[in-house]
Amino acid sequence: MSSEIFIVAFVTAIIMVIAAVVIGKLLAPTSTNAQKGEPYECGIPTKGTSWMQFKVGYYLFAILFLIFDVETVLLFPWASIMKSLGSIGLVSVLFFLFILVLGLAYAWKKGALEWK
Amino acid sequence: MSLELENVVKLAHDGLTSSLPGWAAAAIEYVLVGVLLLALYCVLALILIFLERKICARFQCRLGPNRVGPWGSLQLIADMVKILLKEIVKISKSDKLLYYVAIFLAIIGSFCTFGALQFGKGLACIDFNVGIFYILAISSLGVIGILLAGWSSNNKYTLIGAMRSGAQLISYELSAGISILTMVILAGSLNISDIINGQENAWFIFQAPLPALIAFIIYLIAGHAETNRGPFDLPEAESELTAGYHTEYSGIQYGFFYLAEYLNMFIIAGVATTVFLGGWQPFHIHADWASGFNHVMDYIPSYIWFLGKAFSLVLLSLWVRWTFPRLRIDQLLHLEWKILMPISLLNMLVMAVWVLIF
């Protein structure tokens, strides 16, 4: 039942966007000229493209996010049966977390968490 | 309990299934659910925008919208019509496909999460057995939408805004996820109905006061950062980046990013309500002298409870937004990775120990 409702919500969202954009295109006035299509940056014409290199710091944080997000995903099944697993479950998760926190501490020490 | 909408839903379901063949009844129900969700989504967005404008005005010693309709309440309808009538500017150097896909992703991310909230007793639309996990998963679609929007517009401001936004959203998603994980330990289930039913006697924030309160505060901070608002609005810092990742969007296309942002604020409040404050469960005091009080609390319909709690959290979020100055990106990442992350990991272990002891 729920997966059908999910598809219903998904399709409704798509229909809403398409309908509103079509209505907007029909109702709204349009006029075009060469300057209008330029990127909205400043008064003078834009130099070059914007698809260029950007700061590597973002990439570092993305990698760190990946590690910890996968960790969170792995912990969800444990968390939902934590009550019945008892202390054995807690101890085994402590090992898992210890290794991860070691990784975070290493990144911290190396200065990967600083924004330079 | 005649005020509950549960009976109406049941009545409609029984009426449809008894008078029509199975497939037709199911089809009509799906259409009804879609239309109702859409209506609720749009109405909530209007209410939120009105609240924001009025309250922000009061914070700044202004009156806010007060000309159109009583207390300016029709201003929103006027705004909605106006944004539909605004020109959609065609930009020449963009990546057309990704430029449009971004809008869809932003809206799908917030709309499908919105459908998973339970607004009252028996008012569950998307109710998976991994419900809370589904909420975390599908709400991160919005990040991809924002990154695509910034990238495809071919504008330096949008690119910087999108990169900042991406770094911020993925970082704060961690502590938000871990706070919810902490509560899943207490609930012992990922199903949203189970989580809410588990709070029938006492809300989770009262069941394990210390770890739950810390998780609640961390979730509110992280959730607030995930909506790109308040002190965390550097992806769209207007004095640096004009409007951030949606600079190149105009007319109703811009409106969708606006809509998604406001609804995300409500969704964060709604999830916090569900996981920490008991969802639609009323407030009870467990004492002999309080039975009259409990009866009065029971008489208030469940959807009023849910909306009341969620809107209180929304008001808190507005208050925070208009109180604190904007953070720098290094402060932002420092706050997440060096303060919130270690605390939330530790807090999760405290909760595990708490569950074992009590």
Question: How far apart (Å, rounded) are the C-alpha atoms in residues B286 and B122?
Answer: 25
B235-257 pLDDT, tens digit per residue, is 776 667 777 788 878 888 888 88
CATH of the domain at A100: 1.20.58.1610
pLDDT band, very low/low/confident/very high, at B353 (cuts 50, 70, 90): confident
Question: Can you read off the two tokens belonging to residue B124?
Answer: 């569950």
Q: Give the per-residue pLDDT at B282.
A: 82
End-to-end distance of chain A based on CA atoms, in angstroms? 50
Residue A67 located in a structural domain: yes
Domain count, chain A: 1
Assess whether pLDDT exceeds 60 at residue B1.
no
Question: How far apart (Å, rounded) are the C-alpha atoms in residues B277 and B205?
Answer: 6
The pLDDT > 70 percentage for chain A reads 98
B338-352 pLDDT, tens digit per residue, is 888 889 989 988 888
Instruction: Considering only the beta carbons, identify the residue of A9, A40, A79 that sits closest to B242.
Output: A40
- Neighbouring C-beta atoms of residue B320, cutoff 10 Å: 16
**Weakest mean pLDDT among A61-75, B86-100, B233-247:** B233-247
Mean pLDDT of the residues in chain B: 84
Question: How far apart (Å, rounded) are the C-alpha atoms in residues B263 and B42?
Answer: 9
Instruction: Considering only the beta carbons, identify the residue of B107, B163, B256 that sits closest to A58.
Output: B163
* Residue A47 domain boundaries: 2-110
Question: Can you read off the two tokens belonging to residue B71?
Answer: 């207390």
Mean pLDDT of the residues in chain A: 82
Rg from Cα positions in chain A? 25
Q: Give the per-residue pLDDT at B219.
A: 92
- Burial profile B99-120: b = 16 or more Cβ within 10 angstroms, e = fewer: bbbbbbbbbbbbbbbbbbbbbb
Stretch B304-331: mean pLDDT:
87
Residue A116 located in a structural domain: no
Residue A115 located in a structural domain: no
Q: Give the per-residue pLDDT at A1.
A: 56
Question: Can you read off the two tokens belonging to residue A3?
Answer: 């997966």
Instruction: Considering only the beta carbons, identify the residue of A24, A31, A80 that sits closest to B184.
Output: A80
Cβ–Cβ contact A3 with B under 8 A: yes
CA A18, A23, A26, A32: dihedral to nearest 10 degrees? -70
User: Pick the residue with more confidence: A31 or B196?
Assistant: B196
Stretch B125-141: mean pLDDT:
85
Question: Can you read off the two tokens belonging to residue B242?
Answer: 């004009």
Distances in Å between the Cα of B39 and the Cα atoms of A60, B56, B114, B308 are 41, 25, 12, 19
Domain count, chain B: 1
Contacts of B185 in chain A (CB under 8 A): 79, 82-83
8 Å CB contact of A28 and B86: yes
Assess whether pLDDT exceeds 80 at residue A47.
no
pLDDT band, very low/low/confident/very high, at B218 (cuts 50, 70, 90): very high
* Residue B282 domain boundaries: 88-357
Question: How far apart (Å, rounded) are the C-alpha atoms in residues B181 and A105?
Answer: 22
Question: How far apart (Å, rounded) are the C-alpha atoms in residues B232 and B168?
Answer: 8
Question: How far apart (Å, rounded) are the C-alpha atoms in residues B322 and B179?
Answer: 25
Question: Can you read off the two tokens belonging to residue B316?
Answer: 């808190």
Question: Can you read off the two tokens belonging to residue B175?
Answer: 């502590």
Instruction: Work out the minimum CA distance from A56 to partner chain B, whole angstroms.
Output: 11
B23-82 pLDDT, tens digit per residue, is 887 788 888 888 888 888 888 888 888 888 888 888 888 887 888 878 878 888 888 888
Assess whether pLDDT exceeds 70 at residue B2.
no
Cβ–Cβ contact A59 with B under 8 A: no
Instruction: Considering only the beta carbons, identify the residue of A11, A61, A97 that sits closest to B171.
Output: A61
Residue B351 located in a structural domain: yes
Q: How far is CA B79 from the centre of its chain?
A: 22
User: Pick the residue with more confidence: A84 or B270?
Assistant: B270
Question: How far apart (Å, rounded) are the C-alpha atoms in residues B79 and B214?
Answer: 40
Best probe of the A interface among B94, B108, B183, B339, by most A CBs < 10 A, is: B108
8 Å CB contact of B189 and A80: yes
The answer to whether the beta carbons of residues B217 and A109 sit under 8 Å apart is no
Distances in Å between the Cα of B16 and the Cα atoms of A2, B9, B24 are 19, 11, 9
Stretch B152-175: mean pLDDT:
85
pLDDT band, very low/low/confident/very high, at B14 (cuts 50, 70, 90): confident
Q: How far is CA A31 from the centre of its chain?
A: 36
Assess whether pLDDT exceeds 60 at residue B327.
yes
Instruction: Considering only the beta carbons, identify the residue of B166, B251, B252 that sits closest to A58.
Output: B166
Q: Which of residues 74-93 of A touch B (CB under 8 A)?
A: 75-76, 79-84, 86-87, 90, 93
Report the sign of the C-alpha dihedral through residues A58, A61, A67, A70, in that order. negative
> Quick one: which of B276, B262, B277 has its CA closest to B317?
B262
8 Å CB contact of A28 and B38: no
Best probe of the A interface among B174, B193, B248, B263, by most A CBs < 10 A, is: B174
Residue A55 located in a structural domain: yes
Contacts of A40 in chain B (CB under 8 A): 155, 157, 242, 247-248
> Quick one: which of B77, B76, B86, B79 has its CA closest to B249?
B86
Which amino acid type is present at position B95? Answer: D
Q: Give the per-residue pLDDT at B238.
A: 67
Question: Can you read off the two tokens belonging to residue A48?
Answer: 């070059």
Stretch B14-25: mean pLDDT:
78
> Quick one: which of B148, B81, B76 has its CA closest to B109?
B148
Question: How far apart (Å, rounded) are the C-alpha atoms in residues A53 and A66?
Answer: 21
Contacts of B222 in chain A (CB under 8 A): none
8 Å CB contact of A61 and B87: no
Assess whether pLDDT exceeds 60 at residue B274.
yes
- Neighbouring C-beta atoms of residue B313, cutoff 10 Å: 23
Contacts of B163 in chain A (CB under 8 A): 54-55, 58
Instruction: Considering only the beta carbons, identify the residue of B181, B333, B352 that sits closest to A115.
Output: B333
